[in-house]
Structure 1
């Protein structure tokens, strides 16, 4: 494994540390995935003043995964979380999530540390592009909605109800629905 980055680099044209600028371009979920992929000890406990070390681990995770894999893994983790909270995850999705994030305790630790980078006096801002990326979950594995964004619930009398799929359509947007208001 590569050595742990212990200090951010400074660009000659700016006094802003490169690693801090990189972390600002990452959403909370992307920071979580980067920490999961880094050399962060699984039982690490945050202490006041450790933000520089957390930033170094985030940068290390980004370097290991690359931005594309980081974005993808964060979107899959977010999609799975939405499905899991709605109790709509399938066995295939659970297997895919566990293959990607085998150590659930480490993932929980990485998530809590990523959250700490966003609060308090040492908080690191999140860019608008990172926020926009974080609002696009992805689903890995077969979904009950079949990728349509809508799941059908059958009732006893043959009645059906469509529910928005939390993974494919978390906002519940209906395609091609026009609303007219009459005065």
Structure 2
């Protein structure tokens, strides 16, 4: 990430919080991106007792990026992952993802390490705000659904009635159908 190269280095925090920043207030994806932007070694492998060091790197990476960029990058990463898993990521989205996260091995390692922070003994829970934020769709580039949450699937090109609507895993992961708008007149 460019922020990793240009932002000043900060001293590692010694706890789960640093000033107003708390690891609890970050989703798993945000912890992943913070680790990606931190001084965590590229060859890092978790060992028992590394929890405090992981927390320090998360705080460091979050401070280095700033919360708004951290939230945005985590949302881009999550939306790209779900589109990619569904074979719906476009070339434009793949290019944007590769430009944002140049080192895919580091990103994968950061994701594994971030997951460890929420598991087992000494796990740091996720705040309700972090969980809600983790579901925010944000796609770099044009999405098949045009940001509507739905796109058409053609089962038979010769039969127009053989089309169906498919929910977009990034913009509408639950497949929620929009209901009729209701207005109240008093």
1:76–1:139: 8 Å Cα contact kept in structure 2? yes
1:37–1:61: 8 Å Cα contact kept in structure 2? yes
User: What secondary structure, in the 3-state scheme, does the structure 2 residue paired with 1:111 have?
Assistant: helix
Q: TM-score, normalised by structure 1?
A: 0.87
Offset, 1:7: 2.0
Distance 1:4 1:165, change over 3 A: same
The answer for the alignment partner of 1:169 in structure 2 is 172
User: What secondary structure, in the 3-state scheme, does the structure 2 residue paired with 1:35 have?
Assistant: helix
Offset, 1:138: 1.4
2:13–2:60: 8 Å Cα contact kept in structure 1? no
Offset, 1:177: 5.3
The answer for the alignment partner of 2:26 in structure 1 is 26
The CA RMSD measured in Å over matched residues stands at 1.8
Aligned residues: 171
Deviations 1:25-74 (A, max 9, x none): 00000000000000111110111111111111001101110000000111
1:152–1:161: 8 Å Cα contact kept in structure 2? yes
Large movers: runs of 4+ above 3 Å: 16-21
Q: TM-score, normalised by structure 2?
A: 0.86
Higher mean Cα deviation, 150-159 or 71-80?
150-159
Structure 2: gaps of 5 or more residues: 1-7, 182-186
1:4–1:39: 8 Å Cα contact kept in structure 2? no
User: What secondary structure, in the 3-state scheme, does the structure 2 residue paired with 1:152 have?
Assistant: strand
Structure 1: gaps of 5 or more residues: 9-15, 179-183
